[in-house]
C-alpha cells in the first residue's frame, strides 16, 4: 500500500473516531429539551458527558491537522470552498463549549436555560452540517482547473447534501440516547429508552435512504459490504434497546457509525474531492497528497503517538464508567 493510500485510511479512521465519540455528545446535547423535565434532570444529562466531551472533540482537531499535513490540496479546497458552512459549525462548537463551562456560573433559571439552549443548538447544528459537508465531498462540488471551489453555501444545500445532514442529525441523536440509557439510572433512563425507540424508526428510514443513494451512485464492493453492516447493526441496536441490553445497543450503534462513515470513504476512493465541473479538475489521492518524505515522517509520528492517545482515552472512560442519577446531584447545585 502506498503512503498516500495509507493516509487516506488514517484520515478516515480519525473522522470515524470523531463521529463515534463526539456523535453521542451531540446526541446528549440534543436530548436536553426532550428528557430534561427540570434543572436536575438536565444536570444529570450534562454530567454523563461532562468528563469526556472536550477530549472527544479533540479528535476533529487531530483529523483536521492530519488532513492539512497529508493532503494539503484537499484541505485548501475544502476549507476555502466550505468556508461559511465550516464557520457556522465552528461557531456552534464554540457556543456549546462555552455553555458547558458557564452554565453553572449563574444562579437564575434564565441564565441556565440560555446556556442549555446553546448546548442544544451547538449540538444539533454541527450534527446537521457534518452530514451536509461529507455528502458533498462524496458527491462532488464545482471546482475549476485550479481546484478552486466556484459554488456558494446554497450549492451545498442540494437534496443529497441535505439528506446526508438529516442522516447524521438523526443517527447522532439516537447514538446519544443509547449513551444516556447506558450511563443513567431511574426515570430518566426509562424516558431515554422510550424516546430511542421512536427516534430509531426515523433514523433508520433516513439513514437507509442516504446510504442506498450513495451506494447506487458510487457502487463498490467494499461500500456495499459496509452499507449492509451499517444497516444490520442499526436494526440490531434497536432490537437490543427493546430487550434492554444497554451495552449491546450502544456497541452496535458504534458499529453502525463505523460502517456508514466507512461506506462514504469507500464511495469517495480514489478521489478526495471530485469536481462536478469537469472530472479532470477533481482532487485524487495522488494529486492532493504531500511529498513522500512528509508522509513518511507523519507515519512514524502517528505510529508512536496514536497508541498512547487511545490508551489514555480508554483509561479516562474506565475512570468515569459509573452511571449518573439524580441522587448524584447535590441539592441546590447548578
Residues 107-166 have pLDDT tens digits of: 888 999 999 999 999 999 999 999 999 999 999 999 999 999 998 889 999 999 999 999
Please indicate, yes or no, if residue 216 is contained in any of the structural domains. yes
CB atoms within 10 A of CB 308: 9
Mean pLDDT score of the chain: 93
Number of structural domains (the chain) is: 1
Q: Which residues on adjacent β-strands are paired with residue 184?
A: 324
Phi, psi of 82 (to 5 degrees): -95, 25
Range of the domain at 64: 3-274+282-320
Determine the pLDDT at residue 104: 85
Please indicate, yes or no, if residue 331 is contained in any of the structural domains. no
Please indicate, yes or no, if residue 332 is contained in any of the structural domains. no
Residues 7, 270: Cα–Cα separation, whole Å: 12
Phi, psi of 184 (to 5 degrees): -125, 170
- pLDDT tens track for 259-298: 999 999 999 999 999 999 999 999 999 999 999 999 999 9
Please indicate, yes or no, if residue 140 is contained in any of the structural domains. yes
Identify which of 158, 164, 73, 173 has the alpha carbon closest to the alpha carbon of residue 123. 173
Please indicate, yes or no, if residue 328 is contained in any of the structural domains. no
Determine the pLDDT at residue 89: 94
Would you call 314 exposed, middle or buried from its count of C-beta atoms within 10 A (0-12, 13-18, 19+)? Answer: exposed
Match 444562579 to its residue by C-alpha cell: 107
Please indicate, yes or no, if residue 40 is contained in any of the structural domains. yes
DSSP annotation of 36 reads -
Q: Which residues on adjacent β-strands are paired with residue 143?
A: 149
The CATH number assigned to the domain holding 86 equals 1.20.1630
Q: What 3-state class would DSSP assign to 330?
A: coil
Determine the pLDDT at residue 330: 72
Please indicate, yes or no, if residue 299 is contained in any of the structural domains. yes
Amino acid at each position: 500500500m502506498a503512503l498516500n493510500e495509507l493516509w487516506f485510511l488514517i484520515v478516515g479512521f480519525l473522522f470515524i473516531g470523531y463521529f463515534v465519540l463526539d456523535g453521542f455528545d451531540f446526541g446528549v446535547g440534543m436530548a436536553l429539551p426532550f428528557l430534561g423535565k427540570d434543572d436536575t434532570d438536565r444536570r444529570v444529562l450534562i454530567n454523563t458527558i461532562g468528563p469526556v466531551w472536550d477530549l472527544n472533540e479533540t479528535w476533529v482537531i487531530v483529523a483536521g491537522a492530519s488532513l492539512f499535513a497529508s493532503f494539503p490540496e484537499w484541505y485548501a479546497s475544502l476549507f476555502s470552498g466550505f468556508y461559511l458552512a465550516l464557520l457556522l459549525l465552528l461557531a456552534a462548537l464554540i457556543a456549546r463549549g462555552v455553555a458547558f463551562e458557564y452554565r453553572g456560573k449563574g444562579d437564575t433559571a434564565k441564565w441556565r436555560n440560555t446556556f442549555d439552549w446553546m448546548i442544544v443548538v451547538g449540538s444539533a447544528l454541527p450534527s446537521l452540517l457534518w452530514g451536509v459537508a461529507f455528502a458533498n465531498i462524496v458527491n462532488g462540488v464545482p471546482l475549476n482547473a485550479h481546484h478552486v471551489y466556484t459554488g456558494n453555501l446554497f450549492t451545498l444545500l442540494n437534496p443529497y447534501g441535505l439528506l446526508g445532514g438529516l442522516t447524521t442529525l438523526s443517527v447522532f441523536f439516537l447514538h446519544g440516547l443509547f449513551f444516556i440509557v447506558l450511563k443513567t439510572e431511574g426515570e430518566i433512563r426509562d424516558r431515554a429508552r422510550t424516546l430511542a425507540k421512536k427516534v430509531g424508526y426515523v433514523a433508520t428510514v433516513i439513514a437507509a435512504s442516504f446510504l442506498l443513494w450513495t451506494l447506487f451512485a458510487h457502487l463498490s464492493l467494499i461500500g456495499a459490504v459496509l452499507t449492509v453492516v451499517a444497516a444490520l447493526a442499526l436494526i440490531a441496536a434497536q432490537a437490543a434497546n427493546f430487550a434492554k441490553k444497554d451495552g449491546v445497543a450502544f456497541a452496535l450503534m458504534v458499529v453502525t457509525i463505523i460502517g456508514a462513515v466507512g461506506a462514504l470513504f469507500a464511495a469517495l476512493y480514489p478521489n478526495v474531492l471530485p469536481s462536478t465541473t469537469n472530472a479532470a479538475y477533481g482532487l485524487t489521492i495522488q494529486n492532493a497528497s504531500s511529498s513522500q518524505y512528509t508522509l513518511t515522517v507523519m507515519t512514524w509520528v502517528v505510529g508512536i503517538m496514536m497508541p498512547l492517545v487511545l490508551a489514555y482515552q480508554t483509561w479516562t472512560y474506565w475512570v468515569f464508567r459509573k452511571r449518573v442519577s439524580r441522587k448524584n446531584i447535590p441539592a441546590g447545585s447548578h
